[in-house]
């Protein structure tokens, strides 16, 4: 007697992660959350794959909260590849971000967003945080910085520089003046007033950079001023990676970008 084949057991439906319920009402809400993460059409398959996977990880963090953190770290594969290709140099991601910002290829705000993602990845590597470090909403912001940076870096060089400068055909001198005016209107991060980071008092460094930038814009730095500027850059390079608070990171990254633009004026041209 032949026995009937066993009936297939239906697979269980995925269960929403209760930690994601504060973000969206249901899974359909995740589609709206990632709608702004649009893949650049001119990216390589390697970059497209990393970006698309990151977007889908955020979408499915509705069912597994940790996917949001993984999405951020995975997206860095795409921007690291594009930065290395655009700058034609192999270097750590932190160095690539700083070089791109200093060269005007990305804005100070984008550089700060990318660096926050990098710091998250470093903390995961060091065991300082877990894969539940960020939720879906925070992951969307961090991954959007990657999408925006990749789209900007993949533009033709002239168009990308103009876009990063915020105006068509802006020269480095124009960009420094524009960033300086923007910085003068920005309030100092109050929670960091009087704070010492790695031996550097942030408010004093801010004042020193402001003084040399104003002198540079007013007519140019002398030898002593250039020395002070490079000392400020060294201090900025030390503290920028150590700042986790979003506004302060953006504020200090803009300082570093302006200092780099000013310093570039005093580097002798190659002969």
pLDDT band at 167 (very low <50, low <70, confident <90, very high): very low
What pLDDT, in 10s, does the model give residues 218-246? 888 888 888 898 899 888 888 888 888 88
- 3-state SS record for 96-110: HHHHHHHCCCCCHHH
Label residues 163-196 b or e (16+ Cβ within 10 Å = b).
bbbeeeebebeebbbebbeebeeeeebeebeeee
Q: Which is more confidently placed, 165 or 154?
A: 154
The answer to whether 77 touches 108, Cβ cutoff 8 Å, is: no
> Position of tokens 């060089």?
157
Given a cut of 70, is residue 28 above it in pLDDT?
yes
Phi/psi at 196 (5° precision): -105, 125
Q: 3-state DSSP helix/strand/coil percent for the chain, to nearest 5?
A: 65, 0, 35
What pLDDT, in 10s, does the model give residues 168-195? 444 556 778 888 888 888 888 888 888 8
Report the alpha-carbon distance of residue 75 to residue 147 in Å, rounded: 8
Q: What is the mean pLDDT of residues 136-149?
A: 94
The answer to whether 68 touches 57, Cβ cutoff 8 Å, is: yes
Number of H helices and E strands in the chain, helices first, is 11, 2
The answer to whether 242 touches 198, Cβ cutoff 8 Å, is: yes
pLDDT band at 148 (very low <50, low <70, confident <90, very high): very high
Report the alpha-carbon distance of residue 153 to residue 212 in Å, rounded: 30
pLDDT band at 271 (very low <50, low <70, confident <90, very high): very low
pLDDT band at 249 (very low <50, low <70, confident <90, very high): confident
Any residues with CB less than 8 A from the CB of 242 and at least 6 apart, and which? 197, 198
Q: What percent of the chain has pLDDT over 70?
A: 89
What pLDDT, in 10s, does the model give residues 199-217? 889 999 999 999 999 998 8
> Position of tokens 């319920």?
21
pLDDT of amino acid 61: 94
Taking the model in full, what pTM does it have? 0.60
What pLDDT, in 10s, does the model give residues 103-126? 888 888 899 999 999 999 999 999
pLDDT of amino acid 247: 84
């Amino acid at each position: 007697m032949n026995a009937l084949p066993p009936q297939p057991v239906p697979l269980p439906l995925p269960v929403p992660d209760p930690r994601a319920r504060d973000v969206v009402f249901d899974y359909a809400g995740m589609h709206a959350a990632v709608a702004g993460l649009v893949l650049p059409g001119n990216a390589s398959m390697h970059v497209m794959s990393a970006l698309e996977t990151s977007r889908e990880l955020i979408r499915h963090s509705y069912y597994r909260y940790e996917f949001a953190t993984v999405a951020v770290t995975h997206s860095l594969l795409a921007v690291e590849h594009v930065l290395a290709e655009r700058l034609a140099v192999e270097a750590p991601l932190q160095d690539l971000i700083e070089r791109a910002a200093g060269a005007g290829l990305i804005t100070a705000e984008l550089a700060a967003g990318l660096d926050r993602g990098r710091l998250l990845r470093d903390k995961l590597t060091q065991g300082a945080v877990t894969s539940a470090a960020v939720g879906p909403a925070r992951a969307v912001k961090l991954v959007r910085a990657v999408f925006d940076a990749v789209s900007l870096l993949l533009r033709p060089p002239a168009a990308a520089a103009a876009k990063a400068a915020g105006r068509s055909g802006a020269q480095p001198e124009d960009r420094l003046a524009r960033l300086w005016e923007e910085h003068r209107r920005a309030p100092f991060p109050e929670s960091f007033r009087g704070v010492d980071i790695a031996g550097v008092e942030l408010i004093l460094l801010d004042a020193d950079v402001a003084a040399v930038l104003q002198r540079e814009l007013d007519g140019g730095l002398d030898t002593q001023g250039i020395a002070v500027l490079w000392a400020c850059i060294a201090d900025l390079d030390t503290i920028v990676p150590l700042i986790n608070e979003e506004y302060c990171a953006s504020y200090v990254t803009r300082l570093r970008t302006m200092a780099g633009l000013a310093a570039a004026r005093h580097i002798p041209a190659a002969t």
